[in-house]
């Protein structure tokens, strides 16, 4: 019997099963990669772009290497495939450890977000993708060797890889990450790769030392996965959307103050004994500006994003009712209730995308609050002309829309674009910020207030937590920025907000 004759006794269904299982596992790792990197660099278009590029690069190198191995006699090729599966298991199990070890130094060394995201993706997920990409050409060639209707075998192997990728994507998003979390998911994939390795060694008829040697390597892979699982978790709660942590920022147990960290960003702060006090500039403005405009304790509101629910909690404490909140992540709401003292009975909570919820609603609101803007994870579908038009239709005649926005004072391209877009819908657009001199390179918090008329005042004082003065920037100043930037209206078809904020490769 020649080395190629082994293919005759390997059932095609077994090779299809192996191909599909490895393909599914590799896609699960790709999806989990985004979830695991988010606590260090956030989740954005750039995060997924880097991850997909790194994973595809790994697959490409793996496929090329696998093609060279496939030219060997079948049994030897399968034994080598078994070793690449052990390597895939070890590197997949070790991805967590690599992220823990290198995330801090990488983020500190490479201050540009794109560089940090790409390097972390490469360090943790290039090798797992490379080794997972090796088996596909080998198993396909083995399936075709000395087999009648080899063309059908070729099609079946390609199809099994694609079907496996589909199932892997679905399993990652709908089962593994929300049910058992990222680290346990990688341990499951490590076990799958180990099983695939054992099958390949069996098919390759490994004997003697060649059969015993993989045992130690398999033990290393499983041990690495268990070690990663034993480490303290990065997240207090890991949802389908975010890695959520709660940090106590008060040393007084009788006056607790908690900080919510979503992925890598401080998302909000609340004090148990002071529900009306805001601890961030944007929350202070989102709280004070609508109340200034309404000039009454009775108005309805729709809140885009919940987070710590600080503003709805403060308004409920003031006796303001008619509060509706669209928070896409139910786990965020659970954390806000458990650790940020929000009473869910004080508001109507919708666990869905705010744009979907607002489009389906037939109610009009006096105030709509946009509190979903965070760092490079810009919610582009919530800053377009189409969305602002929807907001205007859901506002009462004298209603106001307020939204927070971050931008670099050295650029202000994002601010200019959002202002122009709002002006395309609303007669009056005001830009509020902290009344202090700008600093070079500063990323400033702005709150934009859009309505049918200008505010009666241009300065307000609010606690954040110290008493802070906020002011509306002069319209002539804003007009000058808009003209200088030649700002264009953002639309559902084109809203490059992250690029406008300065996160593009050409910017140092």
Task: For the chain, give the longest Cα–Cα distance.
Answer: 92
- Which is nearest to 286 in space by CA: 301, 265, 297, 266? 301
Contact 275, 336 (CB under 8 A): no
Residue 364, phi then psi, degrees to nearest 5: -105, 150
H or E element: which one contains 472? Answer: strand 467-472
Residue 307, both tokens: 């987070």
Residues 430-487 have pLDDT tens digits of: 999 999 888 877 888 999 999 999 999 999 999 999 999 999 999 999 999 999 999 9
Q: How far apart are CA 454 and CA 105, in angstroms?
A: 48
Residue 314's Cβ-count burial label (10 Å; 0-12, 13-18, 19+) is: buried
Contact 306, 333 (CB under 8 A): yes
Q: How far apart are CA 500 and CA 419, in angstroms?
A: 13
- Helix, strand or coil for residue 96? helix
Q: How far apart are CA 207 and CA 106, in angstroms?
A: 44
Q: Give the torsion sign (CA, 69, 74, 80, 85).
A: positive
pLDDT of residue 504: 41
- Which is nearest to 18 in space by CA: 100, 130, 139? 139
pLDDT of residue 312: 96
Question: Which residues in the chain come in under a pLDDT of 50?
Answer: 1-3, 5-7, 504-508
Residues β-bridged to residue 408: 443
pLDDT of residue 213: 63
pLDDT of residue 146: 73
Residues β-bridged to residue 342: none
Q: How far apart are CA 187 and CA 34, in angstroms?
A: 16
Contact 259, 265 (CB under 8 A): no
Contact 21, 166 (CB under 8 A): no
Q: How far apart are CA 200 and CA 44, in angstroms?
A: 38
Q: How far apart are CA 469 and CA 467, in angstroms?
A: 7
CATH 3.40.50.150 residue spans of the chain: 275-500
Contact 38, 263 (CB under 8 A): yes
Question: In the 8-state DSSP scheme, what is residue 344?
Answer: G
| pTM for this predicted structure | 0.82
Q: How far apart are CA 478 and CA 412, in angstroms?
A: 10
CATH class of residue range 3-234: mainly alpha
CATH class of residue range 275-500: alpha beta
pLDDT of residue 503: 52
Cis peptide before 188 (omega within 30 of 0): no
Residues β-bridged to residue 304: 326, 370
pLDDT of residue 188: 93
CATH 1.20.1250 residue spans of the chain: 3-234
Neighbours of 229 (CB within 10 A): 15
What is the Cα gyration radius of the chain?
Answer: 27
Edge-to-edge strand ranges of the sheet holding 237-238:
237-238, 243-248, 257-262, 265-271
Residue 485, phi then psi, degrees to nearest 5: -85, -10
Contact 340, 244 (CB under 8 A): no
- Which is nearest to 365 in space by CA: 332, 331, 402, 316? 402
Q: Return the half-sphere exposure (C-beta side, CA atoms, 13 A cut-off) of residue 363.
A: 15
């Amino acid at each position: 019997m020649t080395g190629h004759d082994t293919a005759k006794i390997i059932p095609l269904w077994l090779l299809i099963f192996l191909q599909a299982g490895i393909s599914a596992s590799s896609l699960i790792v790709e999806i989990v990669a985004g979830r695991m990197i988010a606590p260090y660099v956030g989740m954005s278009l750039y995060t997924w772009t880097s991850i997909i590029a790194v994973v595809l690069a790994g697959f490409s190198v793996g496929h090329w290497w696998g093609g060279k191995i496939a030219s060997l006699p079948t049994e030897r090729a399968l034994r080598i495939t078994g070793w690449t599966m052990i390597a895939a298991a070890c590197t997949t199990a070790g991805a967590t450890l690599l992220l823990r070890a290198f995330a801090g130094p990488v983020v500190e060394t490479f201050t540009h977000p794109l560089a940090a995201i790409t390097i972390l993706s490469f360090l943790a997920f290039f090798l797992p993708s490379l080794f997972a990409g090796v088996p596909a050409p080998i198993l396909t060639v083995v399936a075709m060797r000395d087999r009648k209707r080899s063309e059908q075998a070729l099609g079946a192997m390609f199809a099994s890889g694609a079907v496996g990728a589909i199932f892997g994507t679905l399993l990652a998003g709908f089962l593994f990450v929300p049910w058992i979390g990222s680290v346990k998911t990688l341990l499951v994939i490590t076990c799958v790769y180990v099983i695939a390795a054992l099958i390949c060694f069996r098919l390759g008829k490994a004997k003697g030392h060649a059969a015993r040697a993989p045992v130690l390597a398999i033990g290393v892979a499983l041990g690495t996965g268990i070690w990663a699982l034993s480490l303290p978790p990065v997240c207090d709660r890991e949802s389908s959307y975010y890695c959520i942590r709660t940090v106590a920022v008060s040393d007084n147990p009788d006056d607790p103050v908690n900080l919510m960290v979503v992925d890598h960003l401080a998302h909000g702060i609340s004090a148990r004994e002071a529900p009306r006090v805001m601890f961030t500039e944007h929350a202070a403005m989102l709280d004070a500006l609508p109340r200034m405009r309404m000039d009454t304790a009775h108005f309805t509101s729709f809140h885009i994003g919940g987070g710590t629910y600080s503003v709805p909690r403060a308004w409920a404490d003031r006796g303001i009712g008619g509060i509706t909140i669209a928070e896409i992540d139910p786990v965020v709401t659970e954390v806000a209730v458990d650790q940020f003292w929000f009473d869910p009975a004080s508001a109507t909570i919708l666990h869905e995308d705010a744009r979907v919820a607002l489009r389906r609603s037939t109610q009009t609101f006096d105030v709509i609050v946009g509190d979903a803007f965070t760092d490079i994870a810009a919610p582009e579908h919530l800053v377009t002309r189409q969305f602002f038009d929807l907001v205007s239709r859901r506002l009462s005649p004298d209603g106001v829309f307020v939204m927070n926005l971050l931008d670099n004072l050295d650029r202000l391209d994002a601010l200019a674009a959002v202002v122009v877009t709002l002006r395309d819908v609303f007669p009056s657009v005001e830009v509020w910020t902290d009344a202090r001199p700008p600093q070079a390179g500063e990323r400033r918090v702005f709150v934009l207030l859009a309505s049918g008329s200008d505010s009666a005042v241009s300065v307000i004082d609010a606690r954040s937590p110290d008493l802070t003065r906020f002011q509306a920037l002069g319209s002539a100043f804003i007009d000058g920025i808009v003209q200088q930037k030649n700002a264009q209206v953002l639309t559902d078809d084109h809203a490059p907000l992250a690029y406008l904020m300065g996160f593009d490769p050409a910017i140092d």
